[in-house]
Amino acid sequence: MDHPITSVIAGRYALADKLGEGGMGAVYRARDRLTGQSVAVKRLAIAAGMADTQARVEFAGTTVGDLRPLASDDRTRNVRRPTESGPGRTRAAGAAGPLDSLGRLAIANEFRILASLRHPNIISVLDYGFDRDEPYLVLEVIEGAATITGAARGRAVTAKLELLAQLLRALHYLHRRGICHRDLKPSNVLVADGRVRVLDFGLALERGDDHRPAGTLGYIAPEVLRGAPATAAADLWSAGIIAFELLAERHPLPRADERGRVELRPPRLTLPPGELGVDATSAVTELVDRLLAVDPGDRPSSAAQALRILARLGIGSAVDEHETVSAALGRAPLVGRVADRATLAAAVDELGAGRGAALAVVGRAGSGKSRLLDDVATYALVRGCAVALGEAPDDADGPYQVWRAVLRRLIARVGVAAPVPWPFLAQVVPDVGELLGVGPLAVPPLDPQTLQAALHGAVEALVRAQPAPTVILLDDLDRAGPESAALVAVVARLASQAPVVVIATAAAEADVDLCRLGLTVRELPPLGRADVAAFAVAVLGPLGDRAELVDLLVAASGGQPRLLVESIRTLARNAGGLEQIVAGPVPRELVLAGVEAALAARFAELDPAIQTLLRHAAVIGPELELGLLTAVVPTVDLAVALDEAERAGLIEVGVGGWRFLHGQARAAVLGAMSAEDRRAAHAAVAAVLSSGPPDPVALAFHFGQAELTDAEARWIAAAAQVLLSRASYPRALASFQRALALLDARGLTGAARDHAELELQLGLGTCALILDGLASPAMAAAYDRAQALVEAIGGAGGGPAFAALFGQSAVHLFRGQITVAHGLSERALRLAQDVGDVDLEIEGRFSLANAEFWLGALSAAERNVVRVVAMWSPGRAALHAERFGQVPRVTCQTAGAWGLWAAGRPDAALARAEEALAIARACGHGFSEAIAVQIVAVTRALRRDVTATLACAEELLRFGAPYPSYRVTARLLLAWAQSNREHDPQYLEDMAGQWRSWQEMGAGLADTFYAGLMADAYLRFAQPAIALEVAAEARRRGDATGERVLLADLLRLEGEAHAALDRPRPARQAFADAIALAETQGAMSLALRAAVAWARLEHDRGDAVEARALVAPALERMGDGADTVDQREAGRLLVRLGAR
């Protein structure tokens, strides 16, 4: 087990020098590559008796089969969450061998228990897992420590007794959680800076060796040597030996008699009475005698009883009831979730076959969602999976926070040579370069949409590069922003192609569409009465199932596990202890209304210094950021404060460290603060943050909450830009609005103020565009104001002025004000040409081509599209995406592809659309890709390629989900295609609903296109009167707004509706007008459709000559597309007419 100093455990812990070695393994000093922290890593040797066992074991109440690792390679197996406890043991162990399934599960569960221990007198376990199938623990390093006997040597008796009291307090904490140490000796009890730390606990792998007593000879209790199991009483014997050594500074029996010593009663401890007095000295010697009683029944009943004896002597303090209650509740099982656990375990099992899954666990606050994640993390660990877990914090933190810890863990597991575009991950993990050992990596200077798309690609590549099946757990996803949710959708899609399971939790009342993210939702119902009774028995003993008590707990908790815990805690407080709950009548009214009041009361009873620390923690967020808290409140003993707050039931060890027990606990702390207290706490946090690397988002938040307006104004504009760059659009929008409101507080005047406002208005317009679509009033107002500022500044330069004109043009275009948009686009293009900016000219020509297409000026639009293609080069894609938020070479094909289709070249149109999509994907730009998918989808619909339209619409629904206008387009096209394929009129209502949504957004653009789809569907389902009304109204609107490109098709649809209503005269007139208008525009595809529809009318009325005269020339004028639906229909009609 001697690892070279270059070894890296779990891709994270770089081993350095060996600190020690015992029978259960070696301990190394190591550096945590994720945090830079110095830690101790213990590699555990595995007893041969634990190997090669085939077993079916219980996982979280569910029987599961073979638990061998899913992955068989020898690369890194797992990383787990921070928590607490100690190294290994010094007794002899069997030969090392491979760990079997039962052993893996047993060790993982024990590690999880040890990692949940938080006590100032117990060493912290920071992490645990399996590496190369060998278990390891990661522990805090205690610098400058001595053994408890070494630290006590030569000191006063009272000082020695204080050390003993700390040891007993640690034992009480362990025993109340059902844990026996089993190897207590001086070398496992260290002292540094006056604080005792207990380490090296008994593990399940050692219990497999039942014929051997666990522990170290000289400290093993007599009954254990005789074959009895180790108990809390055996730990008290070991504590008695240590107490004797502390006070007498020698072992109670000579070492020569070591093997026979346990058969003799140790000698009575004698102490001089001078320091303590006669009575106190007698009490101490009597306590040590009782601890060393050969009969376990003669020893103190618990560590708490021994502590009470010392407390009466003024040494330490007795254990309070808070600690007892917290311990009992801390070891209570999670009940009533067997089916849910089985579902999550089954998803992990499927990874072995290369099948992933994407799941969401939904429930009310306190329903046990986080505990389920903890369980599945342990199970996945046993199965050899990589486990990465993140929690969503409050809004004070920046974007992607729920992903930060996850990505750091995954990065640590792969090398820099992995095919991952590492710089883009710096958006979430700023020190990604340092983690990889290559130095700082900067985020490329690209626009928000490009960066978001590139991040998505980088995360997908990172997950694919993992050396083992991967389980990603995201707690409280509903608290995360939309940028984090979008990343969930990326990984959820990946789960169908790669061995990755992603499981998220969310509150049932949260406003987040988990199904849209690709997650299969599992709801957690409240616990049933039987489950509540089982929990009560687990905590209170057999009498916990008294009917009136169970009824009370059900009523008080509503079946929510968290409120169930709080109800028992409140009962214990008011009854005087856990035992008293079942000893007398149930005080119903006290509990039913007492949870929130009890939380406030427990907070009020804490030491004022600890209250201060918790107040600052509460304003920071639900997670306790220990480094920040230490800097904000440096005078508080953090270890003691955490212990006391945990025993008060206000905080707990969370997935990534310390956190408030639940939202109610944090609310109780915040509720106890006055408005002035809150402002002061936020100000203190902001002051500390200001002294380090700037975090504009956090600084703006805390200065704002502190009502320090001048300071907030300094940071809020930068915070808005950071949020925009990371695609956190809702928070960016709010921040831009706040920055504008505080602009005057920055003290800027004249042109400097106008420049600052211009930047904010353009950012606000971008956010409004993405969130609300081009019809957004906020976007229009922002760009209007930006244009006014450009004119006021005069020398704003081409970029800002162009951006304002372009934005205004986009707003008017989307609203259907095509003529106004055309004029603004012309002005923008002239400005670009005047300043000689080629890139602005490309963007301007794209904008103008769009307006010309919708006006029906197909030749002019085509000229600008051709010019864009000629001016553009692939090397400009990133620059364009950064400057414009899209790639104009891609987006100009809205006019380019659709215009070619209208002009009678449907095949060339499709080729252009697909080329645009290929360019967008090569650029890795998400927004441009969404535009390109829409271009292809609409082109397919114009060609009447129903099956292809259906597939494209589904793809657009995925890519366009963050963008409202694309989402509506996708759903309308989807319903149109389904109505064609399935011939089901129910899709008519779906189409109508999406068209209404489009109009309710304030959109006027493409009204003629959507109306044409609607009229076509109504005709198909024999509703010609409605089709006529829809087409005619849309044509009148198009005439008014200038949206003329599809007016000929609407006239054709009116003609078909008249024909279906047996009105041949108005039908012929509509067809004639349609053909004339289409030919004037050069829209040969529209002319062909009108000619075919008119020819059918004449054929049905017996005039084959007229019908042939209509169809043949129209078909000949088509430039390509012989296999399109329109041309096939025309050809078949000519055959029927006898022309072929």
Cα gap 1138→960, rounded to integer Å: 47
**Residue-level pLDDT at 149:** 94
DSSP code of 545? G
Here the tokens at position 421 are 């575009």
Confidence of residue 210 (pLDDT cuts 50, 70, 90): very low
Phi, psi of 651 (to 5 degrees): -130, 165
Q: Report the first-to-last Cα separation within the chain, whole angstroms.
A: 87
Question: Who contacts 542 (Cβ-Cβ below 8 Å, separation ≥6)?
Answer: none
Cα gap 747→624, rounded to integer Å: 36
Percent of the chain with pLDDT over 90: 37
Q: Give the least confident one: 148-157, 378-387, 710-719, 1048-1057.
A: 378-387
| Residues shown for the chain | 1140
pLDDT of 595 strictly over 70: no
Could you tell me the pTM of the whole model? 0.63
Confidence of residue 25 (pLDDT cuts 50, 70, 90): confident
Are 199 and 256 in contact, with CB atoms under 8 Å apart?
Answer: no
pLDDT of 929 strictly over 50: yes
Please give the domain boundaries of the chain with CATH numbers for all domains: 146-321 (1.10.510.10), 338-523 (3.40.50), 529-593 (no CATH), 1006-1136 (1.25.40.10)
Cα gap 564→915, rounded to integer Å: 60
- Between strands 386-391 and 470-475, the pairing is parallel
Are 804 and 991 in contact, with CB atoms under 8 Å apart?
Answer: no
**Residue-level pLDDT at 604:** 92
Placement of tokens 């000082």 in the chain: 159
Are 730 and 482 in contact, with CB atoms under 8 Å apart?
Answer: yes
pLDDT digits (tens, 9 = 90+) for 26-35: 889 998 877 7
Max Cα-Cα span within the chain: 131
Starting at the edge strand that comes first in sequence, how are the strands of the sheet with 25-32 ordered? 8-9, 13-22, 25-32, 38-44, 134-140, 125-131
Ordered DSSP codes for 562-600: HHHHHHHHHHHHHHTSHHHHTTS---HHHHHT-HHHHHH
Question: Who contacts 548 (Cβ-Cβ below 8 Å, separation ≥6)?
Answer: 586
Cα gap 272→278, rounded to integer Å: 9
497 CB neighbour count, 10 Å cutoff: 12
The answer to whether the Cα torsion of 932, 934, 935, 936 is positive or negative is positive
* C-alpha R_g of the chain: 37
- C-alpha 870 chain-centroid distance: 43
Confidence of residue 107 (pLDDT cuts 50, 70, 90): low
Are 1089 and 1052 in contact, with CB atoms under 8 Å apart?
Answer: yes
Here the tokens at position 651 are 């905080």
**Residue-level pLDDT at 51:** 39
- Cite the DSSP H helix spans in 943-1003: 946-959, 964-982, 986-1000
Q: Does residue 1008 or residue 78 have the better pLDDT?
A: 1008
pLDDT digits (tens, 9 = 90+) for 513-534: 788 788 999 998 888 999 999 8
Cα dihedral 566, 568, 574, 577 in deg (nearest 10): -130
Which of 739, 674, 658, 660 is closest to 704 using CA atoms?
A: 739
Cα gap 1024→1068, rounded to integer Å: 16
- Cite the DSSP H helix spans in 364-447: 369-382, 401-412, 422-425, 432-436
Cα gap 844→864, rounded to integer Å: 9
334 CB neighbour count, 10 Å cutoff: 20
485 CB neighbour count, 10 Å cutoff: 24
- Between strands 13-22 and 500-507, the pairing is unpaired
pLDDT digits (tens, 9 = 90+) for 679-736: 999 999 999 999 988 889 999 999 999 999 999 999 999 999 888 877 678 889 999 9
CA distances in angstroms from 928 to 277, 559, 781, 802, listed in the order given: 85, 48, 24, 20
Cα gap 878→1079, rounded to integer Å: 40
Are 810 and 774 in contact, with CB atoms under 8 Å apart?
Answer: yes
DSSP code of 196? E
**Residue-level pLDDT at 84:** 31
Q: Give the least confident one: 209-223, 249-263, 350-364, 382-396.
A: 249-263
pLDDT of 47 strictly over 70: no
Are 864 and 845 in contact, with CB atoms under 8 Å apart?
Answer: yes
Phi, psi of 292 (to 5 degrees): -100, 20
DSSP code of 526? P
Which of 514, 470, 489, 473 is closest to 376 using CA atoms?
A: 473
pLDDT digits (tens, 9 = 90+) for 259-292: 544 445 677 777 776 666 777 888 898 999 999 9
Cα gap 587→573, rounded to integer Å: 12
**Residue-level pLDDT at 1088:** 96
pLDDT digits (tens, 9 = 90+) for 198-208: 987 755 333 34
**Residue-level pLDDT at 960:** 64
- The partner residues of 505 in beta bridges, in order of sequence, read 361
Which of 113, 88, 122, 143 is closest to 198 using CA atoms?
A: 122
Cα gap 395→824, rounded to integer Å: 39
- The partner residues of 140 in beta bridges, in order of sequence, read 39
Question: Who contacts 948 (Cβ-Cβ below 8 Å, separation ≥6)?
Answer: 940
Q: Considering the chain, what is the average pLDDT of its residues?
A: 83
Question: Who contacts 875 (Cβ-Cβ below 8 Å, separation ≥6)?
Answer: none
- The partner residues of 130 in beta bridges, in order of sequence, read 135
Here the tokens at position 1087 are 């002319």
Here the tokens at position 821 are 């948009």
pLDDT digits (tens, 9 = 90+) for 627-641: 899 999 999 988 888
Which of 662, 747, 760, 655 is closest to 718 using CA atoms?
A: 760
pLDDT of 1093 strictly over 80: yes
Cα gap 28→36, rounded to integer Å: 16
Which of 80, 17, 12, 28 is closest to 437 using CA atoms?
A: 12
Here the tokens at position 187 are 């070398």
Q: Does residue 1077 or residue 304 have the better pLDDT?
A: 1077
